Amino acid sequence: MYEERIRRPELMSKVMTAAQAARLIKNGMTVGMSGFTRAGDAKAMPLALVERSRSEPLALTLLTGASLGNDSDGMMANAGLVARRMPFQADAALRRKINTGEVMFIDQHLSETAEQLRSGDLKEIDVAVVEAVAITADGGIIPSMSVGNTATFAQQARQVIVEINLSTPLALEGFHDIYLPVARPHRGAIPLLTPWQRMGWTAIPVHPDRIAAIIITDSPDSPSNALPPDEETDAIARHVIRFLEGEVQAGRMGPELRPLQAGIGTIANAVLHGLIDSPFRNMTMYSEVLQDSAIELLDSGQLSMASASSITLSAAMHEKFLRNLESYRERIVLRPQEISNHPEVVRRLGLIALNTALEFDIYGNVNSTHVGGTHMMNGIGGSGDFARNAQLSIFVSKSVAKGGAISSVVPMVPHVDHTEHDVDVLVSEWGLADLRGLAPRERAPLIIEHCAHPDYRPQLRAYLAEALKGGGQTPHVLEQAFDWYGRYKREGSMLVK
């Protein structure tokens, strides 16, 4: 059954159960697991490690590409076996452990982890656990629905555990482009001039001696948990499309736009979905995750190709995608996240970056990660890699959260992920603020009048008027700047009654 997936005969002797393979992982080790936004994650080893942690102490540093599926992050966190976690997560149970201080979470730009491992800035990976479609005759590992940091983990780890997943079609071979930059300082430019270019291998080269165990699995990826578009996300999409039409009319870009990047989550997916009703044609994507909306645009023919590091789809779209895999072969490239998110490449290609903010302030600083300024939501992910380097950096958010009790437009964000210098355009369901070439004093009225919910505009106007009295390049009343968070805690709403 799995013989055709292990094409180097001597590796057949490495096939074992997950429980046996888990013995290779010892307390205190650093483990690098495949998996990026629920796609291509190791399925059996997290369960085996949870089981093992019941009978002996196991505290690990766990690195991945991004978030894991199958509740693995939550189960491992609840079992107490995750001492340190990086660079991204999106799990409610793990989030709780991070926010109580039980798990040390290092929230990191997704392009950076591989670079830091290569430079020795992080402790090296002891064991890599990677999901694969197959192992080639020369020992190369063919990843499944994501590449993420898998190539770096597999190449650096002293031992590699491969999970061959029988539910992944062999036809995925050829979708990946494994290219890793060489160590600094003798590195040339990454030779990527277009989103569709291929420059690496289709499998991760690993010396067969380092493949310590092979586990056979057959569980599929967890489906995406992005919600369908709603009235507000439709309105956000319309504002973005009208703005991009203006860019085309002004001659700043052609009808194919610039390569698109769209962040994780419900809102970015919905905005991209809205492009189906747009006049744009022959678009390309250079992103880190492909959600349902990207496949819809490929199917409608508006998107000519898409490059990313993972494919995370709803159950129905996943099934359809695998059924029609051949039709996407020439149109999808899966790359290491170091390349999909690489600042040099993002700047060169001149992307339109579309990411979601939890909240933004009247000057355009964006908080993507910390609820109320203190509590981790998911992490910065790739948003910083793209926002700082894109040609156009757009942040979208609904104007209010929690039924209107929280305004997503505030006087001053209590945590900054993207500074005003990295943000070109802000959008809510009420409108769009084009901040390019504007000074902070010009930005504030635009953001308040175009993006804030009408209920909150009087409060924001009053704050700005008070702040302007004190003068400054970026006027604030520091004694009041965070009052809104106190009011929410005390009264259950940021709105002044």
Q: Just list the catalytic residues.
A: 288
Nearer to ligand COA, 140 or 382 (CB): 382
Q: Is 15 in contact with 216 (CB distance < 8 Å)?
A: yes
Spatial distance between the Cα atoms of 320 and 12, rounded to a whole number of angstroms:
32
**Do 477 and 470 touch, CB atoms closer than 8 A?**
yes
Q: Which residue is nearest to ligand COA (CB)?
A: 265
**Taking each helix axis from N to C terminus, what angle separates 266-274 and 231-249, rounded to the nearest 10 degrees?**
50
What is the three-class DSSP state of 279?
coil
Enclosing H/E stretch for 261? strand 260-262
Encode burial over 418-431: b for 16+ CB neighbours within 10 A, e otherwise: bebebbbbbbbbbb
Phi, psi of 358 (to 5 degrees): -70, -45
Q: What letter represents residue 339's amino acid?
A: I
* Least CB distance to ligand COA at residue 384 (A): 8
SS3 state of residue 469: helix
Give, as one character, the DSSP assignment of residue 377. -
CB of 173 to ligand COA, least distance (A): 26
Nearest to 63 by CA among 97, 107, 120, 119: 107
Report CA torsion sign: 245, 250, 255, 258: negative
Smallest distance, Å, CB 207 to ligand COA? 32
- CB of 279: closest distance to ligand COA in angstroms? 25
Closest CA to 439 of 468, 469, 390, 473: 473
Q: Which two tokens stand for residue 286?
A: 């250079």
Choose between 230 and 245: whose C-beta lies nearer to ligand COA.
Answer: 230
Q: How far is CA 309 from CA 178, 382, 448, in A?
A: 10, 11, 36
Query: Is the Cβ of residue 74 or residue 139 nearer to ligand COA in the bound state?
Result: 74
Name the β-bridge partners of 376: 370
DSSP E strands in 87-240: the ranges are: 104-105, 127-135, 141-143, 159-165, 211-217
Name the site residues for ligand COA (rule: CB under 6 A): 263-267, 288-289, 355-356, 358-359, 368, 371, 377-378, 380-383, 398, 401-402, 406, 408
Residues in the chain, how many? 497
How far apart are CB 275 and ligand COA at their closest, in Å? 16
Residue number with CB closer to ligand COA (31 or 262): 262
Between 196 and 456, CB nearer to ligand COA? 456
3-state DSSP call for residue 11?
Answer: helix
SS3 label, residue 50: helix
* Min CB(484)–ligand COA separation in Å: 10
Tokens of 66: 């991004």
C-beta of residue 50 within 8 angstroms of C-beta of residue 76: yes
Shortest distance, CB of residue 223 to ligand COA, whole angstroms? Answer: 15
For ligand COA, the closer CB: 130 or 406? 406
- DSSP state at residue 336: B
Task: Report the residue number, 150 or 408, with the smaller CB distance to ligand COA.
Answer: 408
Task: Provide the 3-class DSSP secondary structure of residue 484.
Answer: helix
Closer of 60 and 360 to ligand COA (Cβ): 360
* Number of neighbours of residue 323 by Cβ within 10 angstroms: 10
Nearest distance from C-beta of residue 33 to ligand COA, angstroms: 19
Q: How far is CA 264 from the centre of its chain?
A: 6
How near is the Cβ of 149 to ligand COA at its closest, in Å? 14
Answer for the pair 177, 334: CB distance below 8 angstroms, yes or no.
yes
Nearer to ligand COA, 12 or 227 (CB): 227
- Write the CB contacts of 478 (distance below 8 Å, at least 6 apart in sequence): none
